[in-house]
Structure 1
Amino acid sequence: MPTAPHPQNTDELYQALQENDRRPYGRTRTVTAEELVDAAEQFAEPVPLVHALLELQEAYTYGSEPRKSPVVFARLLTLFDEQPDVFDERLRHMLFWRFKWVANALRALPEIPLASLRQWQQEMRDRYEKAGLGLQPYYGQAYQLAVHVGEDTALAHELWASRTRTPLSDCEACETCERALYHLTAGDDERALRAWEPVLAGKESCQEEPARSVSYALLPLLRTGRTDRARELHLAGYRGCRRNPSMAQEVGRHLEFCALTGNEARGLELLAENRGLFDEVDSPLDLLGFLTGVEVLLQRVELIGHGELPAPGYAGRTWTVTGLRAEVRSRADDLAARFDTRNGTTAHTDRRRARLDRAPLLESLELTLRPRSLDDVAPAAPATEPTARTAAAVPDSLPELILRARTLDEQGHPDAHACWARLRTLVAARDYTHPEDPAVGPLVRLRADLLAEEANLAGEKDEFADAAALHEEAAALYDDAGAPDHAALARACALLATAELPAENTEDAEDADGAAAKAAALTAAHTSMVRLHEETPGLTPYLEARLLRLRATALALRLQTSRSDEHIAPVFAEVELLHAFATRHDLAGQISGALLLRVSAHAISGDLPTAVTEIDALLDRLKAQGPAWHLPRTLGLRGRLQLGLQDTQAAHADLTEGLRRAADWPADTVDTTRLHGDLAEVCMHLGRPEEALRHLTRSAELELRRGNRTDAFCAYGNAAQLSLDLGRVEDCIALLDSLLADPESAAGELDDRLLAQLRLTRARALHAGEDLKAATAEFVALAAESAGWDDDPGSHAMIAAETAVLLGESGEFGRAREAADQARAAHARAPRYEQLSNCLRELARLQAQQQGPDGLADALALLTDAGRIAEEARTAGYESGGRSLDTALAYEYGRVNAYAGEYEDALAALDKALALLGEPGPEDDRAGEWAECVRLAGAVEGLYLERPAPALTRLDAAVSRLTALGHTEEAESLASLAARLRDEE
């Protein structure tokens, strides 16, 4: 299948080769390269064919197709022998460099005899000697062959490592890796890590480095106790090799790392992401390394009892861990045996066995912000949240169990949930026989109880429509069972659940119409409850108290919705009715509930001090008289009140104590998700973002365990953004990769805007992590998708503006201007003055910086557009968050002209910017910006215009002013520039 238009001339061919060079390695790039070779053969000139063949060999080499690489190189070598003048110095260098590529390819193919490998090395030596080239690269290949075969490498290493590097030697990063692996094989982890440090620190890199070195260094780092460094490098290194067929061995080592650190679930997640490698890797050597890493992981999962878990494997069938492990073991054993047969040693089988025999190095190492266990990825029922206390023992006797559930339910005791859950299982069984016990009552009564419990659980999840329907169904069954009092309570619950529905059906719950509709529904629900109460005689005290509490709750929710003063008094009146009734009948749980409703009413009405006073009294009562299970929720409310009063320390103490108390009860007793979320907010106020991050991820995890995927992904998204703000770029990317790889995300079952926000955060993180190519690709995709958001043009304007800047950073200014035009069109519908102005100014700066005088005209045109945006903003009365758009524009005119060598214009623009900024004051946060503007003006004037005297006057005055105002740090750069100017004088 053609992937690009057929080039009609050599110019088009070269352009197509450049475009293909920008593609990621893989089938698309390889097929295109093959087509371009066919096209080049039609031209009479040999040079284009050489370039096309070089591109094709590169595509085969890094696309993991070693069988084809030597064939292409043979054609290049023939061309060189026949027409050496065609090869200029650069092409000649590339040709001799790629002798090593062929050697690597031949080693990766077990069907190539060992004699042929040695013969190729001799060919390389002869060619190098004939061309007068140093032999260090040849000895490097001889050493690597010795390692591969499993021979004694001491002499080969000495012959290579002792020689001086040449222009054709492998890059510093690759040679560093080979030296480190020599020490690693000798068992010296420390020495290997010392050798690796320049690569691991990012000081040396190439196409495959540091990803290759990182994958090897992970286990030595663990063995030497550097767990944090291993975690950090795993996140960054894995991203450098994921889904890359030519780095399949590196992926395998990351899978092995997961298996040996208690991260089997993450290992399976990464295997799923790379399942294409099973079929895409055409290099037997790379495939052997990948499959061995896969087997280490699968072996570990099976060993700890999860062999029946589904596993991502070869296409065409469904795999379990056990089944895939058997398949992988068979294939990998065969590959190792083929290499050993070819080499006449047992080296590959021995190395495989050593990896498979490794014991775990750590019981547990938290690798990501989304730690998962194998239970989390099991298709069975979702794991429940572990707590310090499980529910009390459930009675074995069926009558006793039913009566126990009802007694606990009357008290509002959390252990009732476990009893109802057990009963639900028993009643659903085909062989269930209801006890003939008058104390238990008929089966229809028990079914009604179970429906009421199910309805309450739905209500707790805000599934109000389901809750209302279940309560109505329960009420009908209670009528059939001759329990009109319970039926009345169920109908009252249905009324309240139904009244909550308007907020769900209104597009904006905060909209005035939506709030009014909900308030009216709650008023009607309360009226119906009162009537229902009056029409139901003979209510037992605990049922009547519950009905009174529902009445009070309806009015409290109405007050919360309307925020109307006229709705305050009715709440307190209902609460007093409940409190008096509960006190008269000594119903501790309802007394507590009444007092909590009163606290909430004070808080909603804005009287936070009174709310705190009353909640303190309630806490004292709960600690003395109970019920103890009300303590966590009450402490959570007190924490939120303290936050409202801006006492964040007290809020933190209350919320933390609430979490501690919640651990004393079953998981569904307290909304610990809310506690963690509130703690995250408090920690941010306290300047403790790392702690906030832990609470955010914990909140998200709990939401996920309870099936609230949208809320969970929102919380995880907030955690990702916070980790990015903290500079934890790899943590951010790893978390988002995990979320976006989730089956429901991939299937499009989550809200598309939520997924787009996650992708946007990931793109920004990639940019922050200096992966410009991946960041730009994601931004371009998001810009294309958001163009269709007719209901949200402002977001499209923001995304398109950011996309334009990234394209500018890549030097693609034509595409950048197209993206900026998209942003401008969306801005016309939903103004984004600051974002669009920032985009245009930054594009102008990038073009002038990268192209100098040649880019000045285009850069100035962009600044002219930015000037129009500033004018629009002034007309609209828009005020920017920081410096004014006019000030920013004047400063950018200064920078753009300076980059283009128009220094007089640059200085005039900078003086205008300084005038617009005005001199800073003692508490002015503009001091840094002002100082930078003075510094640039001083550099233009003193260095480029060679007028040091006025420049020094400018700088000295600024230093004096900044120092007098206490801005000593800002003054340092100006003083440094002044000193330089004086030295040059």
Structure 2
Amino acid sequence: MPTDAAHPQSTDELFHALQENHRRPYGRTRTVTAEELVDAAERFDEPVPLIHALLELQEAYTYGSDPRKSPVVFARLLTLFDERPDAFDERLRHQLFWRFKWVANALIALPEIPLTSLRQWLGEMRDRYEKAGLGLQPYYGQAYQLAAHVGEDTTLAYELWAARRRTPLSDCEACEIRERALHRADAGDDERALEIWAPVLAGKESCQEEPARSVSYALLPLVRTGRADRARELHLAGYRACRRSAGMAGEVGRHLEFCALTGNEGRGVELLAENRNLFDEVDSPLDLLHFLTGVEVLLSRVEGLGHGELPVAGYAGRAWTVASLRAEVRERGDGLAARFDTRNGTTLHSDHRRERLDRAPLLDALELTLRSRGLDDLAEGASRTDAATGSGTAAAPTVPRTTEALPESVPELILRARELDELGHPDARACWARLRTLVAAPGYTHPDDPAVGPYVRLCADLLSDEANRAAERDEFAVAVELQEEAAGLYDDAGAPGDAALARACALLAAAEIPAGTPSEGGSEGGSEGGEGKAMADALTEAHASLVRLHEETPGLAPYVEGRLLRLRASALGLRLQASGDPEHVAPVLAEVERLEAFALRHSIDGQVSGAKLLRAGTYALSRDLPAAVTEADALHERLTEHGPAWHLPRVLGLRGRLRLGLRDAPAAYADLTEGLRLAAAWPADAVDTGRLHGDLAEACMHLGRPDEALTQLTRAAEAELRAEKRTDAFCAYSNAAQLCLDLGRIEDCIALLDSLLTEPDVVAGEVDDRLVAQLRLVRARALHAGDDLKAATAEFVTLAAESAGWEDDPGSHAMIAAETAMLLAESGEFERAGEAVGRALAAHALAPRYEQLSNCLRELARLQAQQEGPGGLDGALAHLATAGRIADEARAAGFEPVGRPLDSALAYEHGRVNAYVGQYGDALAALEKALALVGEPGPETGSAGEWAECVRLAGLVEGVYLERPAAALTRLDAAVDRLAALGHTDEREQLASLAAQLRDEA
């Protein structure tokens, strides 16, 4: 499989290509490219380029889980060393002897390699080390690992290794800690193992594979010793470091096992799907054995919980259920364990495998992520997918929960459904759902009962109910089609009033198609631009049509006429929301008065409530929030006395939003909490609980309770998912992820977004691409905050390339490209950073982002000066010059930044850049300018902080680098007194500390 890499025409090009390949993640592309570069190196007929190419290829094989090929490459390197030892400088010689251990590990992982060959290789390693005058601790380390793998008495082998002094060729400290800890863990001493592991698990000792490998082993010991919260933290970070990596398949298997034994089977199934590539890409039999055993632990647990038919990801080429994949994995895992045991002459691997499979769950439930999904959720999602794609056998529709038992007989059920529907009672939906199932069943016979009416009328009822559900999901075109079909059937059934109502619903739904469905009541702003006007015009026409339909349909039953009046008022309310036009307020209130008078006259409590709700919403839209609250108070009082009780959560939600608008967060919190409490008494689809949770999250933020807000946001998203409002759900999850990031809960943020981004409809491109891009952007920022600069940069580069095509939104591209430039600069890739900032500036010219571009350019300048010193000064100053032009543009445009003023920030950065490169006079002059621009500090914290930082850096430059401590102390002492007088304690202490340091050194 040739790659697109250019064929190097010189050794310089070869070394450049090797460096480029070394940056790639381990996997098929890196391995194939390394193979090609070895072929290219052979053509130059020089030993050194070939040595480098072979080293790169062996690394690709080793960490790409291809142990069969790694020893072959090493044999070529060893031959080259024997023939041309002069071609190996000290670094290459070190690499060669280091990799004896890689070959030993590769041979252990291959059950077809006889045990005698493994021992012979260790003998070769010992002989080579002794001949080269190297210490034997690395050899004894490999001897111990072979003993542990075979299952021999490891005590002596362990002592011969662990008691020896480390050498430059010893495994890194982190890897040796792992082996020592595993020795204790295998002996059943979890506490001692965790004590040994502590430096690695805390990140104090690390390497390319650590702490990821140690974390996977430490998870169960942590739970067994009562440290479940620590296990949770390490699982999130550790899993991310090994997911989808063929070279760490065993670690993935242990994370799956951890999920299975802590009540997180649903997450385990999701992670299995994310790692489906490992079934076919792992070439190491030992890694595959460990992976398959972890998979089987998970599948056994899921099947034991009664979900054996749940679809799961497995080997390519066929569909798998939990039960069928478990049987396949068991056969393969048993076979691999038997092959190792046959080679080794022990039963160790079969025994270890059986021990893992026999473990009982350690915890009933440990909440691992913010998006905890149970097996029932996954089964329901699989059924929805089957129904949507027409694949498999979809489960029967779930009948919604009801407050009362449904009638058993069909006639009673039909009459009860219609009665509840007239009242607007939430239980009507469960009746229609049950009837829909009965009617669809083979052999259904419609009751011959005059009270029930003909079959065609029941079909119309079901269509109308389905249309209402579609409208709730904003599927207005579907709703129109279904309502019109229902109207025709009502005509056939001799029910003109119901036909008129269906046509009225179709009229309103059709008017909402251009811009979607605005929410009922409580929104405080209308849509702007042509889209809002188009919807307002459509609603004006719809209202006129509704009035004509109402007037031209005689003999309407009161409940039908009440609904028509409600639709008329709703059309005008939606028009007001779309237009924001104050002239549209009075017509809404007039229709509301008409609806309320009719409802009171006919004692239709539901429509009285609806009228008052519309009035409150109209006051809110017209910015009269106190009047809206007064109306909501009156409605709450009436509902408490007269009902209907299921309207109470909605009214409390509206009043809570209004109180948020009035900045009364405690009262809003009380209303929204009570609304959710009351909503729990009714079927889930009776109340928009997602909205209630989302509003409660906002109230929590105003009250300074961000952790509670995070909980409410995730509950809002879950409620929206249950209501099949996936876009709203993803938006709520996006807000939750951003809040996680703001709170410093980095791994929670990444785990949540990883779960969302692997959703089938996201992967299939069925979710709005800008929303998905927003999720990925937050994830990239979280990766950066979590110090995973490489992964964050890769994601930003990809997003920048994609957003370049957003012709309708160049501002977002400017922002993404600017952030990409900063990450590239942080990695030292200043040429690529310059290209990215160039693209950001081009987009900025179309949609200005003054503050973001200024921040970006100043950061690029700082990083280039800091990392390259005097050699980077010209590039840094060029970035600052561009930032200066942007500041001029912003000033001319009257732009006011949210953060620091652009001019003073720019002057400060000139000071810092010049200080980095040793131009201390220029640095001090720039800082003096910055101080003049900032001005004397006042009581505001922000300006005082900026001023104090300028003083601090000026004092440092003047007192230390320009060696003028007296002048610096005069500056610092005056600033300390000034800040003390203003009460800025933190800023004062920083400057006082520097002043004390200067006095001590004087």
Question: Which one of the candidate residues 727, 742, 745 is aligned to 1:728?
Answer: 745
What SS class does the counterpart of residue 925 from structure 1 fall into?
Answer: helix
Moved more, 303-312 or 773-782: 303-312
Q: What's the counterpart of residue 312 of structure 2?
A: 311
CA–CA distance in structure 2, aligned partners of residues 567 and 710 of structure 1: 30
Matches within 5 A, 1:770-849: 770-849=787-866
The 1:138–1:619 alpha-carbon spacing in structure 2 relative to 1, beyond 3 Å, is same
CA–CA distance in structure 1, aligned partners of residues 630 and 19 of structure 2: 73
Question: Which one of the candidate residues 650, 658, 661 is aligned to 2:667?
Answer: 650
TM-score normalised according to structure 2 size: 0.95
Q: Does 1:970 align with 2:992?
A: no
CA–CA distance in structure 2, aligned partners of residues 96 and 737 of structure 1: 40
Question: Which one of the candidate residues 372, 391, 416 is aligned to 2:428?
Answer: 416
Aligned residues of 2:399 and 2:433 also touching (Cα < 8 A): no
What SS class does the counterpart of residue 659 from structure 2 fall into?
Answer: helix
Gapped runs of 5+ residues in structure 1?
none
The CA deviation at 1:347 is 0.4
Q: Does 1:863 align with 2:864?
A: no
Q: What's the counterpart of residue 488 of structure 1?
A: 500
The CA deviation at 1:5 is 2.3
Moved more, 32-41 or 101-110: 32-41
CA–CA distance in structure 1, aligned partners of residues 203 and 919 of structure 2: 37
CA–CA distance in structure 2, aligned partners of residues 650 and 813 of structure 1: 53
Q: What's the counterpart of residue 511 of structure 1?
A: 528
The CA deviation at 1:110 is 1.0
Q: What's the counterpart of residue 369 of structure 1?
A: 370
CA–CA distance in structure 1, aligned partners of residues 689 and 528 of structure 2: 29
- Listed one character per residue, the Cα deviations across residues 149-201 of structure 1 (whole Å, up to 9, x for unaligned) are 11122222222222222211111111111111111111121221111111111
The CA deviation at 1:809 is 0.9
Matches within 5 A, 1:288-299: 288-299=289-300
TM-score normalised according to structure 1 size: 0.97
Matches within 5 A, 1:23-34: 23-34=24-35
Aligned residues of 2:467 and 2:483 also touching (Cα < 8 A): yes
2:207 maps to amino acid: C
Q: Does 1:159 align with 2:160?
A: yes
Matches within 5 A, 1:550-699: 550-699=567-716
Question: Which one of the candidate residues 755, 758, 762 is aligned to 1:745?
Answer: 762
Q: Does 1:302 align with 2:303?
A: yes
Q: What's the counterpart of residue 889 of structure 1?
A: 906
Q: What's the counterpart of residue 22 of structure 1?
A: 23
Question: Which one of the candidate residues 459, 476, 489 is aligned to 1:477?
Answer: 489
CA–CA distance in structure 2, aligned partners of residues 476 and 762 of structure 1: 51
1:683 maps to amino acid: C
Aligned residues of 1:385 and 1:702 also touching (Cα < 8 A): no
- Listed one character per residue, the Cα deviations across residues 714-773 of structure 1 (whole Å, up to 9, x for unaligned) are 221121111111111111111111121112111111222122121111111111111111
The CA deviation at 1:794 is 1.3
The 1:753–1:513 alpha-carbon spacing in structure 2 relative to 1, beyond 3 Å, is closer
Aligned residues of 1:891 and 1:913 also touching (Cα < 8 A): yes
Gapped runs of 5+ residues in structure 2?
386-394, 519-524
The CA deviation at 1:257 is 1.0
Q: What's the counterpart of residue 287 of structure 2?
A: 286
CA–CA distance in structure 2, aligned partners of residues 3 and 522 of structure 1: 56
Question: Which one of the candidate residues 926, 933, 955 is aligned to 2:972?
Answer: 955
CA–CA distance in structure 2, aligned partners of residues 862 and 523 of structure 1: 54
The CA deviation at 1:436 is 1.2
Aligned residues of 2:147 and 2:157 also touching (Cα < 8 A): yes
CA–CA distance in structure 1, aligned partners of residues 794 and 540 of structure 2: 53
Aligned residues of 1:556 and 1:571 also touching (Cα < 8 A): yes
CA–CA distance in structure 1, aligned partners of residues 5 and 497 of structure 2: 77
CA–CA distance in structure 2, aligned partners of residues 924 and 110 of structure 1: 67
Q: What's the counterpart of residue 389 of structure 2?
A: none
CA–CA distance in structure 2, aligned partners of residues 858 and 552 of structure 1: 64
Q: What's the counterpart of residue 276 of structure 2?
A: 275
- Listed one character per residue, the Cα deviations across residues 675-701 of structure 1 (whole Å, up to 9, x for unaligned) are 111112211222212111112112212
CA–CA distance in structure 2, aligned partners of residues 765 and 350 of structure 1: 41
Question: Which one of the candidate residues 434, 447, 452 is aligned to 1:440?
Answer: 452
The 1:531–1:75 alpha-carbon spacing in structure 2 relative to 1, beyond 3 Å, is closer
2:243 maps to amino acid: R
Aligned residues of 1:576 and 1:594 also touching (Cα < 8 A): yes
Aligned residues of 1:388 and 1:665 also touching (Cα < 8 A): no
The 1:431–1:669 alpha-carbon spacing in structure 2 relative to 1, beyond 3 Å, is same
CA–CA distance in structure 2, aligned partners of residues 682 and 33 of structure 1: 56
CA–CA distance in structure 2, aligned partners of residues 518 and 827 of structure 1: 32
The 1:106–1:118 alpha-carbon spacing in structure 2 relative to 1, beyond 3 Å, is same
The CA deviation at 1:559 is 3.1
CA–CA distance in structure 1, aligned partners of residues 727 and 202 of structure 2: 38
Aligned residues of 1:389 and 1:663 also touching (Cα < 8 A): no
Q: Does 1:983 align with 2:995?
A: no
2:544 maps to amino acid: T
Question: Which one of the candidate residues 345, 370, 383 is aligned to 1:380?
Answer: 383
Aligned residues of 1:385 and 1:667 also touching (Cα < 8 A): no
Question: Which one of the candidate residues 449, 458, 466 is aligned to 2:478?
Answer: 466
2:238 maps to amino acid: G
The 1:512–1:786 alpha-carbon spacing in structure 2 relative to 1, beyond 3 Å, is closer
What SS class does the counterpart of residue 306 from structure 1 fall into?
Answer: coil
The 1:261–1:853 alpha-carbon spacing in structure 2 relative to 1, beyond 3 Å, is same
Once the two structures are aligned, what percentage of the paired residues are identical?
A: 77
Aligned residues of 1:388 and 1:664 also touching (Cα < 8 A): no
Matches within 5 A, 1:168-207: 168-207=169-208
1:119 maps to amino acid: Q
The CA deviation at 1:3 is 4.3
1:633 maps to amino acid: R
Q: What's the counterpart of residue 453 of structure 1?
A: 465
CA–CA distance in structure 1, aligned partners of residues 526 and 330 of structure 2: 57
The CA deviation at 1:512 is 4.1
The CA deviation at 1:388 is 12
Aligned length in residues: 984
What SS class does the counterpart of residue 240 from structure 1 fall into?
Answer: helix
What SS class does the counterpart of residue 491 from structure 1 fall into?
Answer: helix
Q: What's the counterpart of residue 357 of structure 2?
A: 356
The CA deviation at 1:123 is 2.0
1:360 maps to amino acid: P
Instruction: Give 4+ residue runs of structure 1 displaced > 4 Å after superposition.
Output: 381-389
Q: Does 1:41 align with 2:14?
A: no
2:267 maps to amino acid: R
The 1:78–1:462 alpha-carbon spacing in structure 2 relative to 1, beyond 3 Å, is closer
CA–CA distance in structure 2, aligned partners of residues 346 and 271 of structure 1: 28
Q: Does 1:143 align with 2:144?
A: yes
What SS class does the counterpart of residue 380 from structure 1 fall into?
Answer: helix
1:463 maps to amino acid: E
The CA deviation at 1:290 is 0.8
Q: What's the counterpart of residue 230 of structure 1?
A: 231
RMSD between aligned alpha carbons?
A: 2.1
The CA deviation at 1:669 is 0.7
Aligned residues of 2:400 and 2:429 also touching (Cα < 8 A): no
The CA deviation at 1:42 is 2.9
Aligned residues of 1:50 and 1:76 also touching (Cα < 8 A): yes
Aligned residues of 1:384 and 1:705 also touching (Cα < 8 A): no
The CA deviation at 1:2 is 4.4
The CA deviation at 1:877 is 2.5
The 1:128–1:870 alpha-carbon spacing in structure 2 relative to 1, beyond 3 Å, is same
Q: Does 1:546 align with 2:549?
A: no
What SS class does the counterpart of residue 488 from structure 1 fall into?
Answer: helix
The CA deviation at 1:386 is 11
CA–CA distance in structure 2, aligned partners of residues 385 and 895 of structure 1: 66
Question: Which one of the candidate residues 715, 718, 742 is aligned to 2:735?
Answer: 718
Q: What's the counterpart of residue 101 of structure 2?
A: 100
The 1:385–1:225 alpha-carbon spacing in structure 2 relative to 1, beyond 3 Å, is farther
- Listed one character per residue, the Cα deviations across residues 242-269 of structure 1 (whole Å, up to 9, x for unaligned) are 1111111001111111111222222122
